Amino acid sequence: MKTLKFFFIIILFLNIITISYADKEDQLVIKISKNLRCLICQGQSIYDSQSDFAVSMKLLISKKIKLGLNEREIYKQLIDKYGEWIVYDTGLNKNTVILWGLPVLLFLVGGAIILKKLVFRKF
Amino acid sequence: MKNKILFFVLIFFLSFCFLVLFKSLDSSSIYVPEKSEERELPEFVSTELFLNEEITSNEIFSGNEFYILNIWASWCAPCREEHPQLMELSKNPSLKIIGLNYKDDPKRAKKFLKELGNPFSITVIDKKGIIAIEFGGYGIPETFVINKDKKIIKTYIGNLTDDSIKQINSLLK
């Protein structure tokens, strides 16, 4: 009876480990698919979309994770295939200079205007 | 005076918005990235439709020739439309056409090829659509031209037209 209990606990423990691992994998699939744009149904992420393209993409992401690829490697492979457009969080390059640079520029210009007004008010 | 300026600014802004929206009416909503550079051929393992045997991408693209990979399915109406073009291309001896049967029922796929002719040297099954994504595909039909160095040099999204056939033939020269 004791041996049976022991085996029962071992099996339970192994199941918990498997479930938590699968959970981690699923979480990563969700995280990656939320950062990918569905190219067929624009305006939706791969995670939100149920199109054939998105369904296959989610399966591919899951397969890549099982093969041991990390998040960054998966993004890189997909960018090579579909271009920078597929990721919502694009990196800084010559096409995205305005996207990344404009907020900084606006912040600096706005800051300068506010500073100027404050300085003028003082004197 | 101030009201007049405001009025002109408003008119200018509205005309600008109208022009932008009007111009976008003609453009396709499907974004196609510029993939000018050659891309590596993905590696995959699949099943041959007729032989029902496992086959690797290295076995499929083993020859020293130009290849065309066409993504198709029996349920896809545009695939039926472009089939005569593929049959025409299959007459070219310096070219091998590979079919990627996308999310299809094998029985229906075989029936489709029996009815319309089989332009493919090898037809592989892509049950889950993963191989199509590995190729950088959007949907079906879609055609990839692969050169002798095993690089994808051209992609045709949508069905092949007479113009695309001319383009492919000129790429082979």
Domains of chain B (ranges, CATH numbers): 38-172 (3.40.30.10)
Q: Of the candidates B30, B130, B136, which has its C-beta nearest A56's C-beta?
A: B130
B1–A contact, CB cutoff 8 A? no
Confidence of residue A17 (pLDDT cuts 50, 70, 90): low
Q: Which residues share a beta bridge with B132?
A: none
Quote the strand ranges of chain B, DSSP E. 39-40, 45-48, 54-56, 66-72, 95-102, 122-126, 142-146, 151-157
Residue A75 has pLDDT above 90, yes or no: yes
Q: What is the pLDDT of residue A110?
A: 95
Contact, B81 vs B159, CB < 8 A?
yes
Q: What is the pLDDT of residue B123?
A: 95
CA distance B121 to B71: 14
CA angle A44, A45, A47 (to 5 degrees): 125
Q: What is the pLDDT of residue B12?
A: 94
What percentage of chain B reaches a pLDDT higher than 70? 94
Q: Which of B113, B45, B132 is nearest to A52 (CA)?
A: B132
**B165-to-A98, A102, B91 alpha-carbon distances in Å:** 39, 44, 12
Q: What is the pLDDT of residue B32?
A: 57
Please state the rounded mean pLDDT for residues A4-28: 73
Tokens standing for residue B54: 């496992």
Q: Show the low-confidence residues of chain B (pLDDT under 70).
A: 28-37
Q: Which of B50, B40, B4, B75 is nearest to A80 (CA)?
A: B40
Q: Taking the model in full, what pTM does it have?
A: 0.74
What is the ipTM metric for this complex?
0.73
Contact, B90 vs B68, CB < 8 A?
no
Nearest CA in chain B to A74: B134
Q: What is the pLDDT of residue A48?
A: 93
Q: Find the largest Cα–Cα distance for chain B.
A: 82
CA distance B24 to B70: 30
Q: Which positions in chain A touch B34 (Cβ < 8 Å)?
A: 83
CA distance B33 to A86: 9
Q: Which positions in chain B touch A86 (Cβ < 8 Å)?
A: 33
CA distance A75 to B76: 30
Please state the rounded mean pLDDT for residues A46-58: 92
**Tokens 């990721």 sit on residue:** A87
Q: What is the pLDDT of residue B4?
A: 87
Tokens standing for residue A116: 């100027």
Query: Distance (Å) from the C-alpha of residue B136 to the closest C-alpha of chain A?
Result: 5
Q: What is the pLDDT of residue B19?
A: 92
Question: Three-state SS across B7-54?
Answer: HHHHHHHHHHHHHHHHHHCCCCCCCCCCCCCCEECCCCEEEECCCCCE
Q: Which positions in chain A touch B103 (Cβ < 8 Å)?
A: 52
